[in-house]
Structure 1
Amino acid sequence: MEFSGEFKGPRAINTFDIYPLKYHKDPAAIKDKIVARGKRFAVLQGMQFKFHKGIAFQKDRKGRAVRINVNSRVMIDPATFRRMRPNYLFSSIQSPIDSRKEEDEDAEHEPEDSEQDSSCSEKESSSSDSESGDDSTHSPERGQRVEPIREPRGRTFSDDNLLLASPVVLGFSFADKLWLEFSVSGLQDIEYNEGAFESLMLPEKQKDIVQALVESHKFDAAKGIDDVIRGKGRGLISGLHGQPGCGKTLTAESISEMLKCPLYAVSAGELGTSAARLEVKLNRILDVAHSWGAVLLLDEADVFLEKREVRSNAEDLRVDLFLLTLLCQVHDIQRNALVSIFLRMLEYFQGILFLTTNRVDTFDEAFQSRIHLPLRYSELTPKAKKAVWKVFLEAVRKTDSAAAVAEFTDHDLDALSRRQLNGRQIKNAVRTAQALALREGTKLGLEHVKKVLDVNEEFSRDLKGGTGYTDAMRSYT
């Protein structure tokens, strides 16, 4: 073993960062630990939906590791990782034999999360968790699902093989929206909330329809009728519209829990506002979402669902109005391009997609025929709000302790349910009231909740032109 460092005088060999295993004080325990980790690595082959808790990392353009704390659900998928990031600098014990100085210099000028696949990805140094195969660097045809690579049954690895297994696996973090290297020891099975769908405050008729549609699409997709053009219109697109805090996002989350599949939540900001960027990003997202069998949620999708418009110039417009109209036309052309691209790409998506919006009145007519399941979310009734209060108070009892929450009578809950609150506001009120109770060292009770709600109502009155609003306006004069 070579050593390139310098030191003065004799030094114990086990004080170095790296030294032979036989000089460790307990080599058998170290070997058993690494073998156990290798067995976990062997189980994580192909695509695996897991929960990761701990430190993950990614390499920057110069090969330096950037550490990221990830406590969320992740998809382990080395093949798709290499396809989506073909220029990623994988760790290697020895430098590649072929010289790639010019390519490395070019890579420094490329974006870290490259949007383009490249044939050079086949030359990248491979990690020990590699899913080998020439096809892994090419995008599948739209609608073609990527199946996980399965090893032959009964294949076993010797302890010497397991000692060489990689301590990390490649995958994607849904919370951070990053392709990362995850520690094998930080991965664990997912605990699904199987009662999430039942907690939805939807009419039973709507819940039955939603459950039937998503389950049939997930488990009996082959029995569904096809379009005249093969592979077209085989997705399940649901439009969720209504006031904020009424359960639109929770619907997609609870369905992913019920189906035990990933939830890939995307905001309009991630897709961008230019037509070129939208097409690249959306194509990429639809690709991996279908490959993983994920439920795709596009939150606040108003910008992509708005009506396309064409403005006409009047001959008698003045110059300033003409320029204003011209700018409006340019804006309309850009927005029309976004809507057209969005429509075209959704036509061939074969997965489950939920679109949430608060402005259904601005929907483009073309979307109406493409939405298989439109759901309207009305303001929560007092009965529904009472149920929501019970759900979040019970959640505090489970996470903290039953003794940490005072008893809320039906009369107390009825009084709270008469307040003008949505589901999100109720959750925030319970969370803030819990913090107050913890600070005071007392049980969470009705007085804590009322104190929080009174402060929130003062803020609401100020927003509607109350005393605080008047005082704020005077400060500008």
Structure 2
Amino acid sequence: MAGEITQKVNPPHPKGGTLRVDNVYSQKDHQWHFVKSSYRSKKGKFAKYTLVAQRNINLIHGNPGRTSVQVNSPNLAKLFREVLNGTWCEGVNKVPPTFDSDILFHTRPYLSLKLSQEEAREIPDAQVVDDIKEVITFVDDFYGRDTLSIESLHRNGEITYDHLWTLFPPGCFIIQQSGILGEPQALKFSSGRYVEQRHGEQKFYAINATLINYDGDCLGWGEVQLEIPSFNETKAIAALPTLPLKFHPNESQLRDNLMSRGKKYLEFLGMACKEHDGMGVEMVFEVEKWVEKKFYAKGRIMVDPAAYKMKLPNCELLKPKVFNTIQPDDVPEEDLVFCNHRVLGFSFAEKKWGSFAVSMIGDVMWDAAASDRLILSEKRRRLISDLMRGHESKETGFDDIVRGKGKSLVGLLSGAPGTGKTLTAEVVAELSKRPLYVVSAGELGIEVRDLDKALNDMMSMVHRWGCVLLIDEAEIFLRKRQDGQIHQNALVGVFLRRLEYFRGIIILTTNRQQDIDDAFKSRIHFKFHYSPLNESGRLAVWKNFLPEIPVADLRSIAHFEINGREIKNTVSLATTIARAREESLTVETLRDILDNFTSWEENGD
């Protein structure tokens, strides 16, 4: 039926006037029928019309729906395509253009300007003048009763739910005040509609808008959907979850911040190790659906949207899908504000893939003096530094006879817990300016097939990122093979094969240095054994953690026989207590904790 109307009212150039029709859905025959509106056109029943205003009415529900406008005038079609260019306004490029009547309300100021310009010409085009006047007349008649109240609301910075649509002309700059990460997001408004929910759910105003996103493959514009829940009475525009930028109380400052953030975002399209301190977002499956969940991520992260997509190709965090691609160097400066507020990557501390707020990401400050924290002889410290420098040159030098082998640096650290094995791995990472990827043997699995896949996936990513890989408690993979131990021997074989082809720095820790398979001995480049800390070693650890406390005071607690990890935990607990008491950390607080610890070990209470 809509096609028949189009044929009847789309002559080479209409004679003028506006036809109003209702497109009514009948429950009787389940068909849509065009019915002349109760409003009678001034141009008469049989005129060829400049505009056709079509209101949809579903008799099942009874209430009138939205009104769409079909523009039959070539002059008006050109003007609307000009003003709506780049706004992705649905229907403007149809022949003839057909779109929501609210577009006319938003474009009235532009049409008034065009009318004034045309009338000011030496020889105005009478047809253009008549066509524009026809639209303006329709707008004033159709919205006349509401226009004054709308203008008054806007002047006072207020709005009603029914008039939300008046805030959002096509292509306008809007702000989502804060998402799950508490960050503002700038978008270009595309379209909006009121949604009536069934089953008692709250109705809302749905917004389609676009932003600049990198989805792991392409950079460009993608569309997202936002909602403004219904509300009663009037509401401050600045209090809306999404609003036009011009109504934001700190418009100028916000625009500057968004511009700076956009420039930063374009630096994160590739792969980069960064520092992060704040909340990240991951996808978690709950009650038959995937939902966004926050997690705290402090420390090193790897920004890598492409790797995220390889790992989780169907994840919702990749959205919005890019439909209009653009090269990074071609992003206009004024569009930088529309860049996504978060990037995809991996948190090394939490071992989670997620999205991270651009504003919470900073550069890594590598610790060149990291080796000073090791309780090692100067000879061993120097050896570690030399190995790191030597490995850097080896990566571009000698290869094994079999291509792909021989470019790893493998270290084995043995000793009791808390003696400095993990700290050594951290120092290796700092000196080589690489992120540290830590995994325990238990996380890799003990089934042969699971282990092989886990090692392959992990080592591929570690190689991609250039990490130092630390596999803690690796004795299950290093244990001597014995006759009859088929499963254990298979685990060792899988690990040995993966180790041979690994390209990078890998450090293994074990508490069982005497139980290592002979095949590993020729593949390990350096081995350190860590004895339990003596009193002087413990004093050195205390000094590392608490340089502000006098050495004499620290010496008074160095006799407590605890390991390095326990010293770290004691300092953390004492710091928490001092903060709660609003006082400085003292050796007395440390001694109280240590006395309690000793009492528990001796008495079990």
Structure 1 length-normalised TM: 0.72
Instruction: Quote how far apart the aligned CAs of 1:425 are.
Output: 2.7
Instruction: Quote how far apart the aligned CAs of 1:284 are.
Output: 0.9
Deviations 1:61-85 (A, max 9, x none): 6453222222221100111111111
Q: Alignment partner for residue 365 of structure 2, among 188, 191, 195?
A: 191
Aligned to 1:387: 540
Aligned mates of 2:425, 2:278 — CA distance in 1: 27
Alpha-carbon contact 1:46-1:131 (below 8 Å) kept: no
Aligned mates of 1:66, 1:452 — CA distance in 2: 36
Aligned mates of 2:529, 2:326 — CA distance in 1: 44
Alpha-carbon contact 2:411-2:526 (below 8 Å) kept: yes
Alpha-carbon contact 2:441-2:476 (below 8 Å) kept: yes
Q: How does 1:158-173 map to 2 (within 5 A)?
A: 158-173=332-347
- Segments of 5+ residues of structure 1 without an aligned counterpart are 94-124, 133-150, 312-331, 398-404, 463-467, 473-477
Deviations 1:288-325 (A, max 9, x none): 111111111011111111122223xxxxxxxxxxxxxx
Aligned mates of 1:188, 1:91 — CA distance in 2: 22
Cα distance, 1:306–1:274 mapped onto 2, change above 3 Å: same
Aligned mates of 1:288, 1:351 — CA distance in 2: 11
Instruction: Quote how far apart the aligned CAs of 1:259 are.
Output: 2.1
Which letter maps to 1:299?
Answer: D
Which letter maps to 2:375?
Answer: M
Number of residue pairs the alignment of both structures matches: 378
Aligned mates of 2:587, 2:233 — CA distance in 1: 71
Aligned to 1:325: none
Q: Alignment partner for residue 258 of structure 1, among 431, 434, 441?
A: 431
Cα distance, 1:383–1:17 mapped onto 2, change above 3 Å: closer
Which letter maps to 1:89?
Answer: E
Which letter maps to 1:248?
Answer: K
Secondary structure, aligned partner of 1:245: coil
Q: Which has the higher contact order (CA 8 A, sep 6+)?
A: 1
Aligned mates of 2:302, 2:498 — CA distance in 1: 24
Aligned mates of 2:564, 2:255 — CA distance in 1: 52
Aligned mates of 1:127, 1:368 — CA distance in 2: 54
Secondary structure, aligned partner of 2:241: coil
Aligned to 1:353: 506
Q: Alignment partner for residue 592 of structure 2, among 448, 451, 468?
A: 451
Instruction: Quote how far apart the aligned CAs of 1:33 are.
Output: 2.3
Aligned mates of 1:76, 1:20 — CA distance in 2: 31
Cα distance, 1:381–1:161 mapped onto 2, change above 3 Å: same
Q: Which has the higher strand share?
A: 2
Instruction: Quote how far apart the aligned CAs of 1:42 are.
Output: 1.3
Alpha-carbon contact 1:271-1:282 (below 8 Å) kept: yes
Aligned to 1:84: 311
Q: Once superposed, what is the RMSD of the aligned Cα atoms?
A: 2.8
Q: Alignment partner for residue 66 of structure 1, among 276, 281, 293?
A: 293
Instruction: Quote how far apart the aligned CAs of 1:202 are.
Output: 1.2
Aligned to 1:37: 261
Alpha-carbon contact 2:309-2:318 (below 8 Å) kept: no
Instruction: Quote how far apart the aligned CAs of 1:183 are.
Output: 1.2
Aligned to 1:49: 273
Aligned mates of 2:278, 2:296 — CA distance in 1: 6
Q: Alignment partner for residue 350 of structure 2, among 176, 179, 196?
A: 176
Instruction: Quote how far apart the aligned CAs of 1:200 are.
Output: 0.6
Aligned to 2:570: 429
Aligned to 2:419: 246
Which letter maps to 2:310?
Answer: R
Rg comparison, structure with higher value: 2
Q: How does 1:394-433 map to 2 (within 5 A)?
A: 394=547, 397=548, 405=549, 407-409=550-552, 412-433=553-574
Aligned mates of 1:442, 1:72 — CA distance in 2: 27
Aligned mates of 1:82, 1:459 — CA distance in 2: 50
Cα distance, 1:86–1:445 mapped onto 2, change above 3 Å: closer
Aligned mates of 2:458, 2:339 — CA distance in 1: 30
Q: Alignment partner for residue 494 of structure 2, among 341, 345, 354?
A: 341
Aligned mates of 2:235, 2:577 — CA distance in 1: 56
Q: How does 1:1-400 map to 2 (within 5 A)?
A: 1-4=191-194, 5=204, 14-60=238-284, 62=289, 64-90=291-317, 92=319, 125-126=321-322, 155=329, 157-223=331-397, 225-311=398-484, 332-394=485-547, 397=548
Alpha-carbon contact 2:425-2:470 (below 8 Å) kept: yes
Alpha-carbon contact 1:78-1:131 (below 8 Å) kept: no
- Segments of 5+ residues of structure 2 without an aligned counterpart are 1-190, 195-203, 205-229
Secondary structure, aligned partner of 1:230: coil
Instruction: Quote how far apart the aligned CAs of 1:201 are.
Output: 1.0
**Identity of counterpart residues, as a percentage?**
38
Deviations 1:362-390 (A, max 9, x none): 11121111111111112334332222222
Aligned mates of 1:207, 1:338 — CA distance in 2: 33
Cα distance, 1:428–1:64 mapped onto 2, change above 3 Å: closer
Which letter maps to 1:2?
Answer: G
Aligned mates of 1:272, 1:213 — CA distance in 2: 31
Instruction: Quote how far apart the aligned CAs of 1:39 are.
Output: 0.9
Aligned mates of 2:507, 2:326 — CA distance in 1: 32
Cα distance, 1:20–1:239 mapped onto 2, change above 3 Å: same
Instruction: Quote how far apart the aligned CAs of 1:2 are.
Output: 1.6
Which letter maps to 2:300?
Answer: R
Aligned mates of 1:389, 1:11 — CA distance in 2: 58
Aligned mates of 1:346, 1:34 — CA distance in 2: 46
Aligned to 1:317: none
Secondary structure, aligned partner of 2:294: strand
Alpha-carbon contact 2:413-2:529 (below 8 Å) kept: yes
Cα distance, 1:457–1:19 mapped onto 2, change above 3 Å: closer
Larger deviation: 211-220 or 333-342? 211-220
Deviations 1:168-211 (A, max 9, x none): 11101111111111111111122333322112111222222221
Aligned mates of 2:542, 2:520 — CA distance in 1: 36
Aligned mates of 1:425, 1:69 — CA distance in 2: 24
Cα distance, 1:281–1:250 mapped onto 2, change above 3 Å: same
Alpha-carbon contact 2:437-2:467 (below 8 Å) kept: yes
Q: How does 1:460-475 map to 2 (within 5 A)?
A: 460-461=601-602, 468=604
Which letter maps to 2:370?
Answer: A
Alpha-carbon contact 1:433-1:444 (below 8 Å) kept: yes
Which letter maps to 1:452?
Answer: I
Instruction: Quote how far apart the aligned CAs of 1:337 are.
Output: 1.6
Alpha-carbon contact 2:473-2:510 (below 8 Å) kept: yes
Aligned mates of 2:583, 2:293 — CA distance in 1: 42
